[in-house]
Amino acid sequence: MRILFAGTQEIAVPVLEELNRHKLVSLVLTTPDAPGKRGSTLLPSPVKAKALELGLPLIQPEHLGSAARAQVSAFAPDTLVSFCYGKIFGPKFLAMFRHKFNIHPSLLPKYRGCAPLQAAILNQDRKTGISIQDIAAGIDEGDIYLAQSFELDGCETLSVLEEKVMKLAPLLLSDLFSNIDVFCPTPQPEFGASYTEFIKKTDGRIDFTRSARDLHAQIRAYSQWPKAECMLDGSPLYLTGVSGSVFDIEECVCDEECGTVAGFEKGKGLKIATGSGYLFVTSLQLPARKNMDSQSFVNGRHDIIGKVLS
């Protein structure tokens, strides 16, 4: 088996390492270098950085047209393994391979598309998982070779879920490759399909008339980017951490106006009134400032108690 590994983000690096450990990678395909968050300097993708470290051949085409296909053909791979690559493979590109595997961090057909982990948090799911599928023309619509589920406790942030997937995905792929003649791809069921979309900056905007459960999930899902944002005295304030499990939040009618910082409870954080129940925030961040635990924030801003966040 000679593999073209296509990937970009950090979450895909352990899979590349596992494939390389078995000396299966003939070529790595990743996206072109892109500006970092703090400036215009072009930075390599995490997958590129790892490929260079491992001494693997690498290409970064802007488009997967004839020129890219020629580059790939020179290395004669017979199998494509894709994980969080970021570009769509056309039929001519896919026709180059005998086997085509895509790793997707959801239990397909649920949460097809680009943000399945965030969706699992936002929807307060009790479980999610990883699927290895054939690559089809439609987005994440290919037949399923293998899937593994795992339970969620309602406390997970996006980073925690990514770490879970980074540990399990290489094991699942190794299981598949060790028994490649046993696993037959199964068509996805027609019912239960859903799609996720690209996350926008505005998705982080908090509406305190929503329930504490929904806001708890929003803060955890967007803890990396765009971060959950509200306004304090006309200036942005990011809520970056929450207390407890979303499954344990009690729904109730709050006495205070939605968004009111009703108090501070040791061990739980700032108590904020919402449309249903109280939200306890454990960490906050002002723009261009370091993230702070809620106790430290209150020590520096005693006047926040009683304020109405919007």
Whichever domain contains 282, its CATH number is 3.10.25.10
Average pLDDT over residues 48-59: 97
Answer yes or no: is pLDDT of 38 > 80: no
Q: Are 134 and 222 part of one and the same domain?
A: no
Residue where the block lists tokens 């580059």? 71
Range of the domain at 107: 3-195
- pLDDT above 80 for 181: no
pLDDT for residue 41 is more than 90: no
Tell me, yes or no, whether 170 and 50 share the same domain.
yes
Does any domain span residue 219? yes
Q: What is the DSSP letter of 56?
A: -
Strand bridging mode 127-134 / 144-151: antiparallel
Q: Is residue 128 pLDDT above 70, yes or no?
A: yes
Residue 186 lies in a domain: yes
How many other CB atoms are found less than 10 A from the CB of residue 171?
14
CATH number for position 22 = 3.40.50.12230
The number of distinct structural domains making up the chain is: 2
Q: Is 50 exposed, middle or buried (0-12, 13-18, 19+ CB in 10 A)?
A: buried
- Asked if pLDDT for residue 68 goes beyond 80, the answer is yes
Report the pLDDT value the prediction gives residue 180, as an integer from 0 to 100. 81
Domain identity same for 135 and 262:
no
Position 39 scores a pLDDT of 67
What average pLDDT does the segment 16-33 reach? Answer: 96
Which single residue is written with the structure tokens 């306004």? 231
Same domain (yes/no): 31, 65: yes
User: Quick one: 88 and 220 in the same domain?
Assistant: no
Q: For the segment 192-228, what is each residue's pLDDT rounded down to a tens digit?
A: 899 999 999 999 999 999 999 999 999 999 999 999 9
Question: What is the structure's pLDDT at 45?
Answer: 96
Q: Residue 145: which pLDDT band, with cuts at 50, 70 and 90?
A: very high
Amino acid at 88: I
Residue 288's pLDDT is 86
Residue 190's pLDDT is what? 82
- Let me know whether 107 and 86 are in one domain: yes
Beta strands in 44-187 (DSSP E): 58-59, 79-83, 99-104, 112-113, 127-134, 144-151
Radius of gyration in angstroms for the set of CA atoms belonging to the chain, rounded to a whole number: 22
User: Which helix (H) or strand (E) element contains residue 195?
Assistant: strand 195-196
176 shares its domain with 243 = no
Mean of per-residue pLDDT scores for the chain:
95
Do residues 174 and 219 share a domain?
no
Each residue's pLDDT tens digit, 229-288: 999 999 999 999 999 999 999 999 999 999 999 999 999 999 999 999 999 999 999 998
Any bridge partners for residue 132, and if so which?
Answer: 103, 146
Q: How confident is the model over 3-21, as a mean pLDDT?
A: 97
Q: Are residues 173 and 292 in the same domain?
A: no
Condensed to tens digits (0 to 9), the pLDDT of residues 73-108 reads: 999 999 999 999 999 999 999 999 999 999 999 999
Residues 213 and 183 occupy one common structural domain: no
Q: Of 190 and 67, which is predicted with more confidence?
A: 67
